[in-house]
Amino acid sequence: MRFTKMHGLGNDYIFLNCMSGTPDDLPGLARRLSDRHFGVGGDGIICVCPAEQADFKMRMFNADGSEGAMCGNGIRCFGKYVYDKGLTDRRHLTVETGAGERDLSLLIQNGAVTGAAVGMGVPVLDAPVALSLDGREYAAVPVSMGNPHAVVEADDPAALDLNVLGPLVERHPAFPRRVNAEFVRVVNRRELEMRVWERGSGETLACGTGACASAAAMIAAGKLDREAAVHLAGGDLQVRWEEKSGQMFMTGPAVTVFDGETAD
């Protein structure tokens, strides 16, 4: 079975061409391939599948085998995969995801995709939830980007022990389906610092849907402008929340690491 390892700001996935068929037991395959010691290593797998109405369909599975509805960094890499591999010559694509169709505008240099701008949908915010975590009180803002997020404002996200706090938020009783946890600090009205604990994968270097959810929470609170840079451990994403349409847009890079094959 051939695969391609790709990443968006260090949020890495193993891509499989499933246009002619899907392997058996994708949850088990995700767990085996994602293992960084005994497998390829990644935050999960992403399957490139045919779609009935969109140009392509994306299915993604986290490192623990759970299926996710949407992945912002993964969908930029998805666009690079289908273009660079010759599955399409279109620069504007629609991709079916578990969170609905998403529009991609590919950024191309010298015949290869370097990144993409993605229409991420309309953020849905709920009232803040009070959380008691490791002896401290936090306020988490629930935000849906087609997948669930809890955005927690912190004085210094870099100083937090996410190995402790991340699982506490992910599996908190307030979020019975589990949740992605973002810990954020507003640097100024055009910049946001963020660390993320992803549901089913743990701390990752970046999360595109998380960046959009975090920006939406801080914009709604009046602390951030509608267009801003989100600083993550793996690099920066540019986000823009249109006031008229309510749509959130995200722009960032996509990188191919290597191609390979496995006996799995």
Backbone angles phi, psi at 28, to 5 degrees: -65, -40
CB contact at 8 A, 9 and 198: no
CB neighbour list of residue 85: distance below 8 Å, 6 or more residues apart: 4, 17
Report whether 174 contacts 161 (CB < 8 A): no
What residues contact 149, with CB distance under 8 A and at least 6 apart? 142, 143, 179, 180, 181, 182, 209, 210, 213, 214
Using CA atoms, how far apart are residues 94 and 105, in angstroms rounded to an integer? 9
- Catalytic residue among 47, 49, 71, 77, which? 71
Determine which one of 47, 49, 77, 207 is catalytic.
207
Structure tokens at 149: 């997020």
Residue 18 catalytic?
A: no
Among candidate residues 82, 63, 60, the one with its CA nearest the CA of residue 73: 60
Q: Is 188 within 8 Å of 223 (Cβ atoms)? A: no
In angstroms, the CA 142 to CA 63 distance is 23
For residues 214 and 141, give the distance between their C-alpha atoms in angstroms, rounded to a whole number.
9
Active-site annotation, residues: 71, 207
